[in-house]
Structure 1
Amino acid sequence: MKWQNSLKDYQLYLKIERGLSKNSIDNYILDVKKLIDYLDANHINISPVSISSEIVQQFIYEVAKTVNSRSQSRIISGLRSFFNYLIFEDYRADNPLELIESPKIGRKLPDTLAEEEIDQIISAVDLSKPEGERNRAMLETLYGCGLRVSELINLKLSDLFFEEGFIKVTGKGDKQRFVPIVDATKNYINIYRYQIRIHTNIQSGHEDTLFLNRRGKQLTRAMVFTIIKQLVEKIGLKKKISPHTFRHSFATHLLQNNADLRSIQLMLGHESITTTEIYVHLDRQHLKGVVEKFHPRK
């Protein structure tokens, strides 16, 4: 069995059997391609069916020289998944990464913004320009609904259920969830939708896309990053901010106001509650206040 053939089959498996998004599939395939590149560079002619744990271990050693622990762990996980697929399809009897441990990595706490900082960033949007209303609506939606940037740019008019107070969000692996939307966010979207968007020359295939660029097409992830970067520089905020920062802030502020983790998990679209638990990083004073308020021995 050749590497390219196994990669093609694995790609179909990830898409059809596991229902992963294109981004996730690309990342899994890239992990395997790194191993293939290493084999080619070192003139090691061996198939995915017969490659040994020793050769894979040598590859991991080389990887460790150039990437951090988090990236190294990601590659090991991706390769382990690939070889598990080969076992599943009866191409192999064992996984060459079975005895290879991932490096221990500390759990990185997400960067967050204070409510005042979010207000400052959104207030810096220039509403005298047509794209200003769009940008304000986008940022309010990112923060107000805790969306990923990919979920934001893929949001459709048909996903807006304002009378019911929800929007339908398509997340990782094309999994859909309904997220509550507050009146303020609905209002900003409606201003953009009915005062700005209706005057846009919408391109074919983008009629249902909510947030459009000046050419009437769906915005790119890079464009959203650029918009936020320019606003942060405009107000002189010395923090590394990305669209994901608004999502982190959404979860953190809910938690600080005593929302339960299970509700936050559902709104963020996390499969596991352990992913959501990363937001439990409140300061000691807040935790002290929670104990004083709710503990029966207070």
Structure 2
Amino acid sequence: MEPLHLNWSEMARSLSSPILDVLDSFERSRHDLRESTMRGYLAGIWRFAVFTGSQNGLEVPRSRKDARPILMTITPAALTLENANRYIDSLVRRKRKTTAHHDGRALAIFSEWCVEARIFPADPLAGFKVPKQPNNRRRPFQDEDVPLIRKAARDSDMGERDETIVVVAIACGLRKDELRNLQYPEDVDLPGRVLYVRDRAAKTDASIRRVVMDDEIVAMLDEYIDEWRPSRQPGALFLNNHGDGLTYGGFASIFRRLKRKLPREMDFKLHRARNTAITNWLRNGNDLHTTMKLAGHKSPKVTERYAGEFTDDELRKLVRPSFTAIYGKRSA
């Protein structure tokens, strides 16, 4: 028998459909979103569904793998203003304000989509206020942390590859998905010392940003390519031990392994590598606008949030007195 092919609006069905099926329709229909963005939305809606189920006496699953029964029980009818506010309030009380912001946004986007899919006749979250993003300054790694991170990365069966990935992240400020999606040779210009970082969901050249590499990064990538990609065939830059491109889970396992090896007080998170790159670009004398472009930010305010604090010596290098240069010295 031929399989039945349904479009996403047919798959979404109704208020009585399990939310797991509705989320599948949501994911299929919103192919305009970045993979990482969609993954964040799905995780936020999953957490909301689990919370709502637990409020109604359902057993809280220990992991996402165990969540299928609860996601087959909860339906879109649970998406009410009361439930959404109760869930967000619970996050705020536990001081998880960043999660409250991201999950609140995910619920708002999902609610609007449910109206488009004719699951709801009107937005069930009309009037819902997404909490503001906490204005916390992100912390880069300390200078003395970086050698420890590199050593921990080298201390594995795939040490050369893992160290290269970590150093590229710290030096070039790439996000996890940007690292994973780097293609060879399309995105790697070793003679020109440039990495091309592409938004794979976009279709214009404006979605490509260029990051300049220093000599050590070029040398590390050259050695990695010689060892791991001797055929130099086009494809994913970073490979697993079977010669296939690393999956999202493969990348995540590398960083989990690193975190276990490093001191707990270091609080190793890959995204702090991005903070470190942005801070170092500024420390090295790049202006805020240039750093914003290198980081792929749309606003300098975001870039400022990522940057760490500077010492007095670093500030003296960064802030170049301009009054005399523009107006000249005082006449005698």
The TM-score, its normalising length taken from structure 1, stands at 0.74
Overall identity of the aligned pairs, in % = 19
| Partner of residue 177, structure 1 | 209
Residue type of the alignment partner of 1:19: L
Are residues 79 and 190 of structure 1, via their aligned partners in 2, closer, same or farther at CA, if it must alter by over 3 Å? same
Q: Which moved more, 1:151-160 or 1:249-258?
A: 151-160
Task: Tell me the CA shift for residue 145 of structure 1.
Answer: 1.5
Instruction: Give the structure 1 partner of residue 276 of structure 2.
Output: 249
SS of alignment partner, residue 178 of structure 1: strand
Q: Distance in 2 between matches of 1:177 and 1:59?
A: 38
User: Which position in structure 2 is the counterpart of 1:197?
Assistant: 228
Give the whole-Å Cα distance in 1 for the aligned partners of 2:280 and 2:84. 44
Unaligned runs of 5+ residues in structure 1 are: none
Alpha-carbon distance in structure 2 between the residues aligned to 1:230 and 1:60: 31
Residue 297 to residue 172, structure 1, CA distance change in 2 (3 Å): farther
Q: Deviations over 1:210-249 (max 9, x none)?
A: 333434343422343145436645xxx9411233222211
8 Å contact from structure 2 (residues 139, 306) kept in 1: no
Q: How many angstroms apart in 2 are the aligned matches of 1:47 and 1:122?
A: 46
Inter-partner Cα distance in structure 2 for 1:212 and 1:228 = 18
Displacement of 1:122 in angstroms is 3.1
Q: After TM superposition, give the deviation of residue 277 of structure 1 in Å.
A: 2.3
Query: Structure 1 residue 167: deviation in Å?
Result: 1.8
Residues of 2 paired with 1:189 and 1:90: CA distance? 50
Alignment partners' CA distance in 1, 2:43 and 2:222: 41
**1:174-200: per-residue Cα shift (whole Å, max 9, x none)?**
654332222221111112222x22579
Are 1:218 and 2:231 counterparts? no
- How many angstroms apart in 2 are the aligned matches of 1:111 and 1:64? 22
SS of alignment partner, residue 10 of structure 1? helix
Q: 1:78 aligns with which of 106, 110, 123?
A: 106
How many angstroms apart in 1 are the aligned matches of 2:298 and 2:319?
32
Change (3 A) 1:84 1:217: same
Correspondences of 1:52-63 after superposition (within 5 Å)? 52-61=80-89
Corresponding residue number in structure 1 for 2:181: 154
How far, CA to CA, are the matches of 2:78 and 2:152 in structure 1?
Answer: 59
Is 1:140 the counterpart of 2:157? The answer is no
Distance 1:131 1:51 in 2: 45
Q: Does 1:11 align with 2:27?
A: yes
Counterpart residue number, 2:288 = 261
Closer, same or farther: CA 85–116 of 1 in aligned 2, 3 Å: same
Which amino acid counterpart does residue 71 of structure 1 have in structure 2? Answer: T
Of the candidates 30, 35, 40, which is equivalent to residue 43 of structure 2?
30
Equivalent pair of 1:113/1:246 in contact (CA under 8 Å): yes
8 Å Cα contact 1:161/1:167 also seen in 2: yes
Q: Cα 1:230–1:172, aligned 2, differ >3 Å: closer, same or farther?
A: farther
Distance (whole Å) between structure 1 residues aligned to residue 313 and residue 117 of structure 2: 51
The number of residues matched between the two structures is 285
- Judged with a 3 Å threshold, the aligned counterparts in structure 2 of structure 1 residues 224 and 294 are, in CA distance, closer, same or farther, namely farther
Q: Is the CA contact 2:275–2:308 (under 8 Å) kept in the aligned structure 1? A: no
Q: Structure 1 pair 172/225, CA: closer, same or farther in 2 (3 Å)?
A: farther
Tell me, in whole angstroms, the C-alpha distance in 2 between the residues paired with 1:54 and 1:34.
16
Partner AA of 1:197 in structure 2? W
After TM superposition, where is structure 1 displaced by more than 6 Å over at least 4 residues in a row?
none
Q: Which residue in the other structure is 1:229 paired with?
A: 259
- Once the two structures are superposed, residues 79-115 of structure 1 have per-residue CA deviations (whole angstroms, 9 ceiling, x without a partner) of 1112223445666565443433344563232221244
Question: What is the identity, as a one-letter code, of the residue corresponding to 2:212?
Answer: P
- For the residue of structure 1 that corresponds to 2:169, the secondary structure is helix
Paired residues of 1:63 and 1:72 also in contact (CA < 8 A): yes
Unaligned runs of 5+ residues in structure 2 are 1-13, 58-72, 326-332
Matched-pair contact (CA < 8 Å) for 2:79–2:125 = no
Structural RMSD (CA): 4.1
Q: Structure 1 residues 149-158 or 5-14, which shifts more? A: 5-14
In the aligned structure 1, how far is the partner of 2:193 from the partner of 2:54?
55
